[in-house]
Amino acid sequence: MDLGRIFLELGAVILALAFVGRAAGRIGITPIPLYLIAGLALGTLFHLGSEAEEFVHVGAEIGAVLLLFALGLEYTSDELRSNLKTNAPIGVMDLALNFTPGVLAGFMLGFPPLAAILLGGVTYLTSSGIASKVLSDLGRLGNRETPIVLAVCVLEDIAMAVYLPVIAALLVGGTLLAIGVSLGVALLAFGAAFASALRFGPALSRVIDVTSSEALLLSVFGLVLVVAGLADVLNVSAAIGAFLVGIALSGEVAHRARLLIEPLRDLFAAIFFVFFGLQLDLTTVPGVLLPAILLALLTTATKMIVGWFGAARLGVRTRGRLRAGATLVPRGEFSILIAGLGVTAGLAPQLGPLAAVYVLLTALIGPILARFDEQLAPLVQRFERPKAAVKENVGRGRSENKGAD
């Protein structure tokens, strides 16, 4: 092991991220799109050694886990129950509008049925990691529209708890009995973990509460990794496991854990986003660029619709509706994971690069739209005013006719 080379390569990557983060701060946007472009540039300019690349890979996985854990800390178990009940119709709309385009695009590109279903999963899922980072970077965690963004992400993550085991079992194949057993174990594990997080969260918070900040950080970080690892072993997403730990913690412990985990989350989250860019092979881009652009534009519109109607249900006005939709646009960690399943199985050679370019495009479009909601709102309001005037005139005409009668 050439330790000096590993340190030089990792140091160069982290310094590049520091430069990108400062540039994003000066521009006034979230650094996520620039992290992705930095990863693409780094992967093009030079090749990391195997040890450094493995560290970046593991760091990216930890980043995804910590992002979801931090997102879970924003929820209490009561809020989760309430949001799941209240926002189920929006979840159904989200599934219909965003899963379908991917499946149809897969069939149009000549993918086999299972690969088309995988592409549907790629287009369906908002990146909870990017969404949470956008909300945090732009100071919108307390906004009125944020609960619907989080609710949609949670509903999608729960849907993935069913989707991923089903897809994994179908990819492996075997007898119907073997597939059934695999699915049963995965779904039972998720159900037990979800129920435990809701019921025993306060007890866990009391057990893990210690005065020492150092001990609390080690306890929380270790617990998150253990639960994420167990979830992955049982074919339930590691990120979902981390999310459930975040939900389980409550009160003062959750507040202290959030403050302590933030520096680690930001470090590994930056590595997570740059890892996306590193995985993209530029030679594969031209063949998938047009389908990726069309799919990104279409599903940007469908996510905006979901966010718009979801926020409208909460009584949020135009800017908040736009912010909700824009925050839901980026795809990320789960989309890459789903595409990776198809690539490993050799289902469709285009699936991997198509998903990578698509994720990069939506990860750029979403945060930019979220940042410039103030400029977009007047355009939408101009469109809304004529419609409102038409409705008012129609209502007045009906009243006059009724009076005449």
Provide the percentage of residues in the chain whose pLDDT is more than 90: 19
Q: Over 80: is that where the pLDDT of 114 sits?
A: yes
User: Is 36 a member of any domain?
Assistant: no
Q: Which amino acid is at 387?
A: K
Residue with tokens 């926020």: 311
Alpha-helical (H) ranges within 48-109 are 50-73, 77-86, 88-108
- The C-alpha angle with vertex 182 and arms to 119 and 155, in degrees rounded to 5, equals 50
d(CA 67, CA 79): 19
Contacts of residue 213, defined as CB under 8 A and 6 or more positions apart, other chains included, come to 256, 260
A 10 A CB-CB count for 155 gives 19
User: What is the Cα gyration radius of the chain?
Assistant: 22
Between 401 and 341, the higher pLDDT residue? 341
Is the pLDDT at 62 greater than 50, yes or no? yes
pLDDT tier for residue 80 given thresholds of 50, 70 and 90: low
Domain of residue 269 covers 41-380
State how far the Cα of 162 lies from the Cα of 182, in Å rounded to an integer.
Answer: 12
Query: If pLDDT is split at 50, 70 and 90, which confidence band does 400 have?
Result: very low
Question: From CA 205, how far away is CA 209, in angstroms rounded?
Answer: 6
Mean pLDDT confidence for 118-123: 94
Per the domain annotation, does 11 fall within a domain?
Answer: no
Q: What are phi and psi of 343, to 5 degrees?
A: -65, -45
Give 343 or 385, the one with higher predicted confidence: 343
**pLDDT tens, residue by residue, 241-269:** 787 788 778 778 888 888 898 888 888 88
Residue 134: count other Cβ atoms within 10 Å of its Cβ.
27
Average pLDDT, stretch 295-309? 95
Range with the poorest average pLDDT among 20-34, 121-135, 312-326: 20-34
- Is residue 318 in some structural domain? yes
Per-residue pLDDT tens over the stretch 304-329: 999 999 999 888 888 889 999 999 99
Position 38 scores a pLDDT of 83
Answer yes or no: is 315 within a domain: yes
Q: What DSSP letter does each residue of 126-153 carry, written as one string?
A: --HHHHHHHHHHTT-TTSTTHHHHHHHH
Going by pLDDT thresholds of 50, 70 and 90, the confidence category of residue 141 is confident
Tokens 């994720």 sit on residue: 359
Residue 395 maps to a domain: no
Residue 120 pLDDT exceeds 90? yes
Of 26 and 185, the structure prediction assigns the larger pLDDT to 26
State both tokens at 4. 């000096």
**pLDDT at 130 (0 to 100):** 80
Average pLDDT on 48-75 reads: 80
- In this structure, is residue 15 part of a structural domain? no
From the list 370, 357, 366, 373, the residue with the least C-alpha distance to 294 is 357
Mean pLDDT of 178-197: 68
Q: What is the pLDDT of residues 355-373, one digit of tens each?
A: 888 988 998 898 888 887 7
For residue 186, the model assigns a pLDDT of 64
Q: What is the pTM of this model?
A: 0.72
Predicted pLDDT of residue 364: 85
DSSP-derived secondary structure for 302-371? HHHHHHHHHHHHTT--HHHHHHHHHHH----HHHHHHHHHHHHHTS-TTHHHHHHHHHHHHHHHHHHHHH
Q: Are 157 and 243 in contact (CB under 8 A)?
A: yes
Confidence of residue 117 (pLDDT cuts 50, 70, 90): very high
pLDDT at 301: 95
Q: Is the pLDDT of residue 390 over 60?
A: no
pLDDT of residue 169: 67
404 pLDDT tier (thresholds 50, 70, 90): very low
CATH number, domain of 143, equals 1.20.1530.20
% of the chain residues with pLDDT over 70: 81
Question: Residue 23 domain-assigned?
Answer: no
When divided into structural domains, the chain yields a total of 1
Task: Tell me, yes or no, whether 400 lies in a domain.
Answer: no
Please tell me the distance from the alpha carbon of residue 16 to that of residue 19, in angstroms, as a whole number: 5
Q: Please give the average per-residue pLDDT across 34-48, as a whole number.
A: 78
Range with the poorest average pLDDT among 38-52, 209-223, 315-329: 38-52
